[in-house]
Structure 1
């Protein structure tokens, strides 16, 4: 069983229906120290939903965080996301430049701790 390293960098991805929705979620995540950085990118999505194939313009939100903040960030996304079933994926980082990883850890440190 792999060990849990709460400071290990993690990327979380979701898609939103508008740039404004992506910006609002990104700002909230960064302001609450749940993400060190958020990147927003326009994408075209083709997917199955409720028995049909749909095509929509969406906005991908990439959030840079740590394993230790993953659960709190996921809860925030679930709370604020406008979709009935938001796509939310976490991707473990295999390697990161050590100073960059330390910056992520510092940026998401709980200010109340």
Structure 2
């Protein structure tokens, strides 16, 4: 009786293991919203962020800031002058290369 080779079964087990391993890599799916600042806030999801102002309560300069994940650098939009009572939606869009942990707004008079 000839000996059966275990190579085909071994190869199948290795491929299945690789599929399971790759399937378990977490996807960048975080999402959320910052605290409100003068009726303005920032939202983020997966890799991007955008800022929103609705009936802004204080005139000033606003900047959206993205806190990127991994080895990516954090990013910030330029300063946007937004007047009291204004609605600017959306503005300050930013993208991170891999993922985003959170975003928030900065304000100055």
Whether TM exceeds 0.5 here: the answer is no
> Which structure has greater strand proportion?
2
Q: TM-score, normalised by structure 1?
A: 0.28
Q: TM-score, normalised by structure 2?
A: 0.28
| Larger relative contact order, structure 1 or 2 (CA cutoff 8 Å, min sep 6) | 1
> Which structure has greater helix proportion?
1
